[in-house]
Chains A and B, each alone.
Chain A
Amino acid sequence: MTWLLDYYNYRIVAQYLGRFAEGLSNTLTAAGVSLILSLLLGTLVALALLSSRAILRKPIEGYVAFIRATPLLVQIYLVYYGLPALLPIAKSWNDMYFGIAALTLNSAPYMGEIIRAGIESVPRGQIEGAKAVGMNYGQRMRYVVLPQAFANTLPPLIGQTAVLIKDTSLLSIITVFEFTSAGILLNSERVRPNESFLTIALGYLLIYLVILLLSRGVKQWLAGPAWNAQG
């Protein structure tokens, strides 16, 4: 195995294992918290986009267009420098909070679009049928629309989660110590690019693999009976 040490000295990586673990846990925290917050915000975005009231729909459409048409990095800078001016509490935040805020604001429109498409994919006949048996709006949503929309939204939501996890790497630029930062730290202290960047690439690949397997499992699970109504 000594020939390997020239190209990839795993002993150096082992020395930095604690730092890599710290970075990984911050990456997963940032991604996890942003995922939950952006699902909540995304649901509101979806409901606003489906609303027939222009006063609700138009501003949200503008927000969605802005997020989709500008780079995440610029959005991160805007949140990082802009939020303390808007929210006085944010002045005492650490970088992680800004990172989570930026990722949430970035991710919510994408989540919202997926949820909106899921709700719209439920056949009209289902809603008409529910109305015919005398269900009110809440009951129709709870028992008819949402369970079917759920089946249609889960696979793309998992895909969007994979994107969100990859996007957390940009938080290294606003000095959040996440997984990529651990690699950058190793490279700046030891000048070993292979050990630094190939290790983090491998780490992200493993996370991706887990998500990929999860997504396949979910697709198989949803392909079972009673989920997708025909018609």
Chain B
Amino acid sequence: MLERYWSITSSLLPFLWQGFLETLYVSLVAIIAGSLIGALIGLVRSQRVPVLTSIFGLYIHILRGTPFLVQLYVFYFVLPNTGISWLSWDSRTAAFVALSVYTSSYVAEIVKGAVEAVPRGQSEAATALGMTRLQRLWYVIIPQALKLTVPPMSGVYVMIIKSTAILSVVGISELTRQGEVSILRFPRDVLFIYGLIAFIYFLYCYPVLRFARWAERRVGAARTVDLD
């Protein structure tokens, strides 16, 4: 029995490794692209820019109020159907864009929260020194807010890794999809193969979760030192 599982594992491992690399790649692209878009939106929202703040608020609510699976279908089926040439993308681009946009909605709220958590006195002191709004943000607020974003951003990163599994639905050859294809080769070992897949996801996510918990304690401890 054990030998059988061992031979399945060793024959599938190179194939699953390919899938893991794609999962790694998609999750990295999504966290980087999503963070860039999200940081911009979060900063704008924290500064209460008229009109833009409410437009971005709507953007965040739409992305948070619908399941990622439905968003993926919209990016995969609806947008290429609009007839706009640059939106008629292939499934891989649709998947990457959908996941990045989804990520940005979570990052935006984290960034907004972190900027607002920096004590007001900091901004007031910078104003007293004659700094402009952008200078205050760049030299005073952002460096302090950045630290506060680390624990929740690690949580978002885990969420993204887990969401990449859903991309298997539109045929992206990531880990879950490779697992499904493997089952065609070993139809009797469905459960074992999904267990193996779950284990590989666990190896990727668990260290990030531990880091998130560690960072939470660090940032939490540092904050109590602040007198404001």
Contacts and interface: CB of A to CB of B under 8 A. Distances in A.
Q: Is B one of A's binding partners?
A: yes
B68 to A, nearest CB: 8
A197 B198 contact: no
Contacts of A198: 74, 78
Given A68-B209, A193-B77, A78 B70 contact: no
Contact of B195 (A78, A166, A180, A196): A78
Contacts of A150: none
Contacts of B78: 193-194, 197-198
Report which residue of A70, A81, A167, A200 has the largest number of chain B beta carbons within 10 angstroms of its beta carbon. A70
Given A81-B194, A208-B64, A194 B168 contact: no
Given A65-B206, A85-B191, A208 B66 contact: yes
B194 A196 contact: no
A204 B67 CA distance: 8
A207 B66 CA distance: 9
Interface residues of B, number: 37
A205 interface: yes
Contacts of A184: 73
Contacts of B67: 166-170, 180, 204
Interface secondary structure of A, over-half rule: helix
Contacts of B166: 71, 73, 170
Nearest to A184: B73
Contact of B69 (A75, A170, A209): A170
Interface string A166-201: 111110110000001001100100000110111011
Contacts of A193: 73, 77-78, 81
A70 B162 contact: yes
Given A166-B67, A201-B70, A204-B66, A194 B209 contact: no
B69 A180 contact: yes
Contacts, number: 111
Interface size range on A against B:
35 or more
Interface string B157-199: 0100111111011000000100100000000001100110110
Given A166-B66, A196-B77, A208-B65, A71 B194 contact: no
A53 to B, nearest CB: 22
B62 interface: yes
B81 A74 contact: no
Contact of A69 (B61, B66, B73, B158): B158
Interface string B65-93: 11111110110011001000000000000
B205 interface: yes
A141 interface: no
B227 to A, nearest CB: 21
B198 A75 contact: yes
Contacts of B198: 66, 70, 74-75, 78
Given A74-B176, A173-B169, A200-B70, 14 more contacts: A69-B201, A69-B209, A70-B198, A70-B202, A74-B198, A180-B73, A193-B81, A196-B73, A197-B73, A198-B78, A201-B74, A204-B65, A205-B66, A212-B61
Nearest 4 interchain pairs by C-beta = A208-B65, A71-B165, A193-B77, A169-B67
